[in-house]
Amino acid sequence: MTLRLNSALVAGVAATFTAHSATAGEFELPESAIFDAAHNRIIVSNIKGGFIDADGNGYLSSLNLDGTVMAQHWLTGLDAPKGMAILGDRLFVADVTGLVEVDLESASVVAVHHAQTAEFLNDVTTSDDAVYVSDLMTDTIWRLQDGSFEPWVQSTALSHPNGIAWDEDRLIVGSWGQGLREDFTTDAPGDVLAVDAASQDIEVIAEGVGNIDGVVMVDGRLIASDWVQGALIEVQDGATKVIGTFPAGLADIGTDGVNLLLPHMMEGRVQVLPLQ
């Protein structure tokens, strides 16, 4: 299977990142950045503590599109919030073993969907009628649909699934890699995978890409982030190309369709990086 990518790709790092980027700092382990189109803002998840600690210290921030902070503590009382996705007027946040449903208008929690056997819920994406969540530690993709939150796919072939993105009739998965160690390095780098929506069959799109944290689709392009190497990687027809390098800790990237939204977890900052 090949990716459904168009051929109008921007060539090289210099051509891709010509405009000046905007950076906001002073975040506390920012893990994910997402564009909220209805309110013309960026939402950032802050872990502020251990990656799986149920300590209530985690929170969400809101930013303007130029990277300036609107509200540092837009929503508080979370544990270790990571990936996020929007469906309708709701924001869904992966928070250790729960999927937190937030009203975007009021910034209030309306529900917490508990994943009873999960250990490390990580990234979130949506189709037209469902929400999907990766669990890094149990090789599982969970699905929330019609009020039911259950495992959708569970397989060692997912190799510690992290970043996920919906692509028409399949789920794109960026795996962290095999042989996960305590310092989050691996014996082998992760692959980019595709899970068929109807059959749940898993296919490899690109092998040995890296320790993948985030994946986004923007204008037909698939871009992934490597947390350990700090690399932005473009994937096309099974081939990969590094299009940007940064310090280690490049986490769950997002996009508003024009910019890439880059949370630099270990540096405590979020970068808005124009694609043109």
Sheet holding 269-274, edge to edge: 22-24, 269-274, 259-264, 254-255
Dump pLDDT digits (tens) for 158-212. 999 999 999 999 999 999 999 999 888 999 999 999 999 999 999 999 999 999 9
Dump pLDDT digits (tens) for 56-103. 999 999 999 888 899 999 999 999 999 999 999 999 999 999 999 999
Could you count the other beta carbons within 10 Å of the beta carbon of residue 4? 12
Q: How many contiguous H segments (helices) and E segments (strands) does the chain have?
A: 1, 24
Q: How far is CA 248 from CA 155, 192, 213, 251, in A?
A: 28, 20, 11, 9
Q: What is the pTM of this model?
A: 0.91
Percent of the chain with pLDDT over 70: 92
pLDDT confidence of residue 65: 87
Q: Strand pairing partners for 219?
A: none
